[in-house]
Amino acid sequence: MKPSLSSVEDALSEIRSLIEKHHSFVLLEHQKPDGDCVGSGLALVQALRNLGKQALLVSQDPHPAVYDFLPGREFHTRAQYIEPEDFRAEVAIFIDCTDPERAGKGLELASNSIWVNIDHHVSNTGFGDVSLVVPDAAATGEIIYKLLLAMGVPITKEIATCLFVAIATDTGGFRYQNTTQETFEIAGALTGYGAIPWEIAEHIFETRSVSSILLLGKALNTLKLSRGGKLATVSVTRDMMAQAGASPDETEGIIGYPRSISGVEVSLLFREMEDGSGFHVSFRSRSKVDVSKIAMRLGGGGHPRAAGALVKGNLEEASQKVLSVLDEFDIWMDS
Ligand code: 5GP
Ligand code: MN
């Protein structure tokens, strides 16, 4: 479903006038925020602050340490540090969230606010008083860029750096199928505003913690190929994370390895939840299978080539559940 140009323009101007009219804003990220969510949120919170607004970026879970180099962190906090009773924002802006519940504990801070939904997931439910969902955008960062242009706010070097990170991470370094001519045009413009691509790449793609490399080794040891070599599965348990000294966000990037195996169309990463109640399953596909549909059947969501869902049970039960849904989709037949 492609939103019409006018509906995008209408939503942009509605958001612009909401921002002009109101003074206090809370920006909500999704649970386990990724580079797009963090970069988009930090860019928008700085833009609002530069306009003299009161604005706070809030996430349930911490930002992955790789994004510590980004500017604007002083305007970010975690939901657990705020008492919802003492907090009031006139407008809540959901960033990169398919549905309000994705904000987790942050949702408690939005109960009396006007809701704005800015996202690029096909599985977005269209919630909110104003909804700006553009599935063709490679990253929410592209949409935030357009919003800032529509608002006429200056794009500083700091904002440009955050937006570049948003786009570079969700496109896998401008390599995934979501990368378009417009993606490069926006990235080029951001470079003009002061983003330095090689420095950003050095931080986000070329620097890893020892613990994440140790965890990668353990995860790759669990590799299983099935469905005639078209499905590759890896898993990460809490034990493995403890042994590697790694945090849950250090699983990011692992799933790219099984997908890169020749002949693999779909890869899965099972990551055990911190409370042991089940697994977060990441789905990636190479070029054909729409994994967002599979994730949605399991109560999750995402994009055609990258999606996720939470599945209860032990590893055996969770993988049985996921495999039975995958097999219903009849995706292993064509070559
Ligand atoms: P990842 O596998 O990297 O966690 O996520 C891949 C994509 O799927 C991201 O765009 C992410 O927002 C989305 N996603 C991951 N997990 C969930 C989930 O549990 N629910 C929903 N709705 N989307 C998810
Ligand atoms: Mn995104």
Per-residue pLDDT, 39 = 99
Which atom belonging to ligand 1 lies closest to the Cα atom of 310? 19
**Domain co-membership, 198 together with 218:** no
For the chain, where are the alpha helices, taking DSSP H only?
5-21, 35-50, 140-151, 157-170, 181-192, 197-204, 210-220, 238-244, 256-259, 291-297, 315-328
Which among 138, 169, 204 is the end of a domain? 204
Which among 178, 204, 230 is the end of a domain? 204
* Cα–Cα distance, 178 to 170 (Å, whole number): 9
Q: Which residues of the chain have pLDDT under 70?
A: 1-2, 333-335
Measured from CB, residues less than 6 Å from any atom of ligand 1 are 30, 34, 98, 102, 121, 282, 300-303, 306-310
Per-residue pLDDT, 334 = 56
Q: Ligand 2 is a single-atom ion; what residues have CB below 5 A from it?
A: 36, 96, 140, 170
Q: Which domain holds residue 78?
A: 5-204
Number of domains in the chain: 2
Residues 6 or more apart whose CB falls under 8 angstroms from that of 235 comprise: 219, 222, 269, 270, 271, 272, 279, 315, 319
Residue 299 maps to a domain: yes
| pLDDT tens digit sequence for 147-157 | 999 999 999 99
Per-residue pLDDT, 2 = 63
**Domain co-membership, 140 together with 32:** yes
**Domain co-membership, 182 together with 246:** no
**Domain co-membership, 180 together with 289:** no
Nearest CA to ligand 1 atom 23: 301
Tell how far the Cα of 303 is from the centroid of ligand 1, in angstroms. Answer: 8
Residue 334 maps to a domain: no
**Domain co-membership, 259 together with 283:** yes
**Domain co-membership, 214 together with 293:** yes
Nearest CA to ligand 1 atom 7: 307
Per-residue pLDDT, 332 = 72
Nearest CA to ligand 1 atom 10: 302
**Domain co-membership, 199 together with 234:** no
Mutation test residue for ligand 1: of 178, 266, 282, 297, the one with most atoms within 8 Å of CB: 282
Strands 301-302 and 306-312: antiparallel
Per-residue pLDDT, 335 = 45
**Domain co-membership, 267 together with 299:** yes
Here the CATH number for the domain that contains residue 252 is 3.10.310.30
**Domain co-membership, 98 together with 196:** yes
Which among 177, 204, 231 is the end of a domain? 204
**Domain co-membership, 42 together with 83:** yes
Here the CATH number for the domain that contains residue 136 is 3.90.1640.10
Per-residue pLDDT, 282 = 98
Residue 332 maps to a domain: no
- How is residue 169 written in tokens? 């991470």
Residue 270 maps to a domain: yes
**Domain co-membership, 19 together with 83:** yes
**Domain co-membership, 229 together with 172:** no
Mutation test residue for ligand 1: of 28, 29, 30, 321, the one with most atoms within 8 Å of CB: 30
Q: Nearest ligand, CA of residue 169?
A: 2
